[in-house]
Amino acid sequence: MEENFSHRCGPWKQQNKKHNSGRHRSKSSTEQKMDKNRLVYISLEDRLAMNRLARKNREWQLRAQKVEKVKRNKNQYGSARSPPIAVVILSLAPKIDSNSVIGDILACRPDATVTSCDRNIYFLSSPSLKRRFCFLIPDHWNMIEVLDAFKVADVAVLLWDCDTVTLHDHFSSLLSAVSAQGMPGLRPKFCRNYDLLLKLIANCAKQPLSLQQHHSRIIVESCSIVEQNDDLNLFQLSVCTLKINGYVRGPPLDVNRLLHIPGWGDFQMDKIDVITDPHPLHKYGKSHVIETCTFAVADPAKQENLESQAAVDEMNVDQTWPTEEEIAQSQSSVKIQNS
């Protein structure tokens, strides 16, 4: 019986070259690729049409991003997880009383919750609008108080008397001072309906000042002295620890930085406590208890120093009368130079 042997080619077997189709694809490769990937030829007009569609889609995406950014900025003001919208109400006429106007504004929505504090600050929480408001009413005859209110305000409401054409000299200078300091972004609106006014304040685009974007600020609702040390010398002032309550607005507040109180100066912070929101969007239950927890404690090694200027030595530049040795030495040096 014969055995089957497989033939093995030797080293001298002829190796034929593969067919070179040049720069073009061969017919077999083209047909094979069309069967697998369904090769489609796109004309120049179709390519331009696709580019126009891509540009249109890009415009839609940019517009959607801008709309999302506007919504995100609106949610930063007055929502349940953000501070209330700070609204300053300024009367530009002696006949108009701001307190009577704020009373009508607070009573325009029956479903809203109204609270107030001792510093003439009123809070309004409206569940239907999903917004919270903080109304500041400065004395229009006190320019410093008006300027301090506009520093922290998000929206400004100016009360104008329609019967008058020109402003009083005091109010004209007051507006000039406020404009020089910086005023929130205004949109001229004429509104007599207080309900529409609240909707306008809640939905208008806020334009914060440069000072508000780079500095944290607090509208103090209440303050109290926690500790006081009077056992000091006659030449030293008494030291106390002041506790203030309010919403932190703007950038995060660093406990190791200095805190500036208008009219009093810069002070160091001891700690920052977080309490339950005293002016919620929705009312708490009867069994709700206000809780307090420590958020941050100052580190003495990282705390900023109160001395912002170098100490000046008054005796450093004091001129004294020369001694006899210095006079003799100067005379001898003059004689040597002349000789």
| pLDDT recorded at residue 188 | 57
Residues 6+ apart with CB under 8 A from 56: none
Most confident of 3-7, 61-65, 92-96: 61-65
Tell me the Cα Rg of the chain.
Answer: 38
Per-residue pLDDT reduced to its tens digit, 121-180:
899 998 888 889 999 998 888 888 889 889 888 888 888 877 777 788 888 888 888 888
What is the full DSSP assignment across 190-202? ----HHHHHHHHH
More confidently predicted of 110 and 74: 110
* pLDDT value of residue 135: 92
What mean pLDDT is reported for the chain?
81
Angle at 26 between CA 23 and CA 28, to 5 degrees: 160
Question: Domains, the chain, ranges and CATH?
Answer: 85-209 (3.40.50.300), 214-297 (no CATH)
Of 240, 228, 241, 306, nearest in space to 273 by CA: 241
pTM of the predicted structure, to 2 decimals: 0.66
Composition of the chain by helix, strand, coil, percent to 5 = 30, 20, 50
Q: What pLDDT, on the 0 to 100 scale, is given for residue 1?
A: 47
pLDDT tens digits along 297-329: 998 888 888 877 777 777 666 667 778 888 888
- Ranking 99-103, 233-237, 241-245, 309-313 by mean pLDDT, the lowest is 233-237
